[in-house]
Chain A
Amino acid sequence: MRAGLDPWPFVIAAYAVGVLGTLALVGWSWLAMRRAEARREKARRK
């Protein structure tokens, strides 16, 4: 650990990128799946 450098901004940034990025990936994948499955149902009904 290098003296004189406050570690907390680095820790907070790593957690923010990790948590927000993972939630964004989950949300985007969920929406893409729901949209694709709705398209399939629509194609079945036509």
Chain B
Amino acid sequence: MHGFANPKRFLALARWLTPLALGLGLVLTGGALAYGFVAAPAERLQGETVRILFIHVPAAWLGMAGWMTIAAASLTELVWRHPLAAIAGRGAAVPGAFFTALCLVSGSLWGRPAWGAWWVWDGRLTSMLVLLFLYLGYIALAGASAREGASSRIPAIFGIVGVVNIPIIHYSVLWWYSVHQVPSISLGRSAMAPAFLWPLLVATIGFTLVFAAVVLMQMRALLADAQAEARMRRKALDSDMRHARTIH
């Protein structure tokens, strides 16, 4: 892993990994969503609204995975001072915030016909909304520290502290009474019919690949901006020094 902290090696890998992850992700996601919208059977209790599952569950997973990426990058930055760690954290923030917002919106669109309410202040929904606010805070903090040339340690500490919310989201439906259902899938166990389970897995893998491609694109943009700025500064400094020598 330490080898990929080198920006040159990272770029060499990211240049072919970005289109591969994006292409494969879009194909898998498109296929799974087409199946979910057109061919998936109506569920006994949820009826046709069960089709929202193929958007809502991958979005929830990626909202949480995005923050875990920020936390891992923040820890790497604080402990090993990897030059790319802060960029990786910032790269995961916007797609993570997007998928958290998508989870909330798709959940609301599912809740209205299923529960009779767009929103309820239960543990799962509230902790997911807190996650969205954490993302917005992180984006603002990391952006401000990069703009002002300040240390990226404060956003990194924020990224690590915010991870406390992830187990709260996961266990909220077990800890507190909720209208939100308990998990249907866990490691080695599923209460879901195969007609929903397999396309859901394909949609989750597809969305995850799209997420990875977006993170790589964001990282490449941030890295290119930083390199262009460093080059311009170096040139301005060289020009100033030449000018000073001419005067003396």
Contact = CB atoms under 8 A, between A and B. Distances in A.
A45 to B, nearest CB: 10
A30 B215 CA distance: 11
A42 B109 CA distance: 46
A35 B82 CA distance: 25
B65 interface: no
Interface hub of B52, B105, B109, B207 (most chain A Cβ within 10 A): B109
24 contacts: A1-B49, A1-B114, A2-B113, A2-B115, A2-B116, A5-B113, A8-B48, A10-B113, A11-B52, A14-B56, A15-B55, A17-B55, A18-B33, A21-B102, A22-B102, A22-B207, A26-B22, A26-B214, A32-B217, A32-B221, A40-B231, A42-B228, A43-B231, A44-B231
A25 B45 CA distance: 34
A2 B113 CA distance: 6
A37 B47 CA distance: 48
Interface residues of A, number: 30
Chain B residues touching A, majority SS: helix
B224 interface: yes
A29 B228 CA distance: 18
Contacts of A5: 112-113
Nearest to B29: A22
Interface of B: 22, 26, 29, 33, 37, 45-49, 51-52, 55-56, 59, 94-95, 98, 102, 105-106, 109-110, 112-116, 207, 210, 213-214, 217-218, 220-222, 224-225, 227-228, 231-232, 235
Contacts of A19: 33
Contacts of B114: 1-2
Given A14-B105, A18-B106, A35-B221, 16 more contacts: A1-B49, A2-B116, A7-B47, A11-B49, A18-B55, A25-B95, A26-B22, A26-B26, A26-B210, A33-B220, A36-B222, A36-B228, A37-B220, A39-B228, A40-B231, A42-B228
Contacts of A25: 94-95, 98, 214
Given A2-B113, A18-B33, A46-B235, A10 B49 contact: yes
A37 to B, nearest CB: 5
A7 B231 CA distance: 56
A10 B130 CA distance: 24
A7 B49 contact: yes
A7 B106 contact: no
Given A2-B114, A15-B33, A40 B228 contact: yes
Given A10-B113, A26-B214, A46-B235, A21 B224 contact: no
